[in-house]
Structure 1
Amino acid sequence: MKISTNYPITQGELEGRVVLVTGANRGFGRAMTLDLAKAGASVIMLGRDLGSLETTYDEVVDAGFKEPILYPLDLEGATPEHYQQLQADVLDSFGKLDGLIHNAGIIGTMMPIEQYDLKLWYSTMQINVNAPFMLTQCLIPALNKSADGRILFLSSSVGRDARAYWGAYGVSKFAIEGLSKTLSEELEKTNIKTNTLDPGRIRTKMRQIAYPAENVENNPTPESLAPAIVYLMSEKSKPLNGEQLTLES
């Protein structure tokens, strides 16, 4: 299903909603953080680099948007205890969670499965699959406190149509697609909706690593695509559940 990026953000439309964004410190995560805060959401910015989290925090505040919350956490090294603490912190601070956006991820490397480095495989799977699983599992109780909860997994075309040499990244996105679909079935009688989103071409460092010969100027900026995230966290997208969504380029 195609999702338009030309969504007109209305100031205050997400007022009272609490949304956690992983990888919120740069790229698409930074852009969606700014637009979610612009729409009035309380954004919990999760990322491993406190410095860049603070830079994005300053951008949000300087723009006069809703003040976000910084939550430094390294998803590669995070343990179940870290996620339990996050759950406690969210419930203590807000009493609920309305949106969980799994944006953080790493590309790994481009090479045949036969030659793939084992340590890099484990690292990619830890960040791209295991961390979203543990984070979601721990935050479902907080999402259940919401009258309209959302889980959104950032995916990729290589997680829907297998492509040679995409290695751990491609496999991780197939896993995310399966995790999202399973959750949508298990949670269908709750107020939580679960979907995946392929953002398509986007002008980020990860895209440059994957396509080094590509002219980045031909790709949409994260800022031009981020309004769609506000739509997907708003009541207007409430009917969507178990969908494989793709942004219109």
Structure 2
Amino acid sequence: MATKPRRAPRRTEALSRDVIVKAAIEILDAEGEDALTLRALTVRLTTGYGAIYHHVADRGDLLAAATDDVVARLLADLVADAEPRQAPRALALGLFDAIVAHPWVGAQLNREPWRPALLDIYERVSEQLQALGVPDRALSDSASVLVSYILGVAGQNAANARALAASKMDRSAFLATVAARWSRLDPVKYPSVYKARTHLREHNDRQQFLVGVDVILAGIETVNRAGARPA
């Protein structure tokens, strides 16, 4: 006697945009951007395409919504009354860590700069620079420089981490290999790189990133103090 094929289990939890976005983030974090398809979502959420399309327009809309969600949660968690000099550092480091944890976020922010996520970052950075005394005439350029640095370095670091993971090489072994190669360089032609080899094994990406943030903030303050002086 033939048996009837088993039906897929019905979804019992109410489907919403938030539920879909959360599932999308889980797929993106676990398997990468290429793994995020509407088919993968229907399987994970045990639902049909129609239910997904009721809440999101397409895959691009879903990627953008996932990015907006990560950034919105980060900005909400930042301490509102942080000391003005520390506020941009905290935001920068939070974005750095978020992009390392969610590598697809960096790519999406650069892909669609008109989306709320990047606009909210730009506005928050601008507010923080205003609190440091940056005048309106210099605010746009100053905020753009700082945001570009944050997204560029964080995105590159995330890409390096993915490449290292794909190579199956331990980070310490990788740094040791690079240090060994730098030790064979001509110290006359590459004096700075040759000296840097001795500290490469202890290299800390987050610390170096914050050094860059501090340099940019110091430069912004110096330039604007100079600009404020009478001719």
Q: Which has the higher contact order (CA 8 A, sep 6+)?
A: 1
Higher strand share: 1
Q: Indicate whether the TM-score tops 0.5.
A: no
Higher helix share: 2
* CA radius of gyration, larger in: 2
